[in-house]
Amino acid sequence: MGTWTFLTNHAVVLFFLAKHSLITGRELSRLIGITERSVRNIISDLESEGYIKRSKEGRQVRYKINPHLPFRHQTQKDKAIRILLEALDREQIRKGAQKHKALSKVVA
C-alpha cells in the first residue's frame, strides 16, 4: 500500500517558499523529497495562479507569497491560504507581519 499525506506537494512548496523566500528549487527538492523538475512545475503553477511572485535579486530569486488568495478546492474557496500558512508555522508568519508593520512605519 502506498503512503499518503494530508498536504499536497503544492501546499508543501508554498509553505517552504513562505518560510524561506530565497530558497532554490534544488534545495526545495532535497528538503521535500520530490524531483527538482516537479518543484519547478509547482512553482510555475503557483505563480501562474498568483499565489507567488518571483523577483530577481542579483543571481538569486526571491519568492513573495500572496496569502490573501483563496484555497482552490470548491469546499474551501471562502478561506484564504493565510490560514494554512499560519497553522503550519504561526511564529514565522507573525514575525513577517511585525516586520511589515515596522517597515510601513519607517516608510510613512
Q: Is residue 1 part of a domain?
A: no
What is the reported pLDDT for 5? 87
CATH number of the domain that residue 99 is part of: 1.10.10.10
Q: Is residue 4 part of a domain?
A: no
Q: Is residue 45 part of a domain?
A: yes
Torsion angle (degrees, nearest 10) of CA 88, 94, 96, 97: 130
Nearby residues of 22 by Cβ (< 8 Å), 6 or more positions away: 57, 60, 61, 62, 63
What is the reported pLDDT for 42? 98
User: Could you tell me the residue range of the domain that residue 102 belongs to?
Assistant: 9-107
Q: Is residue 79 part of a domain?
A: yes
What is the reported pLDDT for 68? 95
Q: Where are the beta strands (DSSP E) in 12-75?
A: 52-57, 60-65
Report the Cα 69 to chain-centroid distance in Å: 12
What is the reported pLDDT for 20? 93
Q: What value does the mean pLDDT take over residues 90-104?
A: 58
- Does 51 or 97 have the greater pLDDT score? 51
Counted domains in the chain:
1
Q: Is residue 3 part of a domain?
A: no
- Quick: pLDDT tens for 36-80: 999 999 999 999 999 999 999 998 999 999 999 999 999 999 999
